[in-house]
Amino acid sequence: MFEGKTALVTGASRGIGRAIAVDLVKNGADVALVGRDRGALEETVEACNAAREGAKCLVLTGDVADQGAVSGFVEETISALGRVDFAVANAGQSVDALLLRLKPDVIDQMLSVNLKSAFYLCGAVAKPMMKQRSGSIVLMSSIVGVMGNAGQAAYAAAKAGLLGLTKSLAKELGSRNIRVNAVAPGLIETAMTEKMPDEAREYLLKQAALGRPGKPEDVSGVVTFLCSEAAGYITGQTLVVDGGVLM
């Protein structure tokens, strides 16, 4: 399906990001894997190679909250793999704290890692995608960005910002055949959600119609769909993957 196509995935070291990379590779794409932990990224490469023998995987380490670094990731991807067709802004971080206890540096950190990094990636891939007059950008939000959550004001604000960014860029880039969509996962079994307080976890499970947490693969398939021609007339949308919490 994606033969001859290249995807760049941030936050590809583990969890949802790794699952996205593996699924895209399984469907024929080459991938550029972005993260901080080279060792973990190499494990993602192994998983990609197991999914499809001969897949081209480029490992890129650095800070997604650094605009210059992100521009460099895109340049290296095009230099090594020839093009960039899909960009998935998956990198994210959560620090829980009530508003009255939120420190300015934590707010800055949440906005930088979860929101500014997506701005930088979109800005860096927009030019080459506009030149080739095609592309799909997927921003990883969260149901917290849709419904809010006590103790996660900074995280929720950043994830909500991605939804506005999605719609605005869809309108800006649509005439060049570039689609921009968001995915809003619910409780997915990852290293990040393992750190959730038990009460918050139980609350989400009780709200989920399916009565269980999701797996990274439940999200990766949706991202693959949004990158595919099957979603060729979908842009500016948010697909919620939460087992039925938001209804």
As annotated, the active-site residues are 155
Q: Are 242 and 184 in contact (CB under 8 A)?
A: yes
Neighbour count for residue 185 (Cβ, 10 Å): 23
Question: What are the tokens at 11?
Answer: 């936050």
The three-state secondary structure class of 34 is: strand
Alpha-carbon gap, residue 57 to 71, rounded angstroms: 18
Q: Are 20 and 226 in contact (CB under 8 A)?
A: no
Neighbours of 246 (CB within 10 A): 13
In the three-class reduction of DSSP (H, G, I as helix; E, B as strand; rest coil), residue 188 is classed as: strand
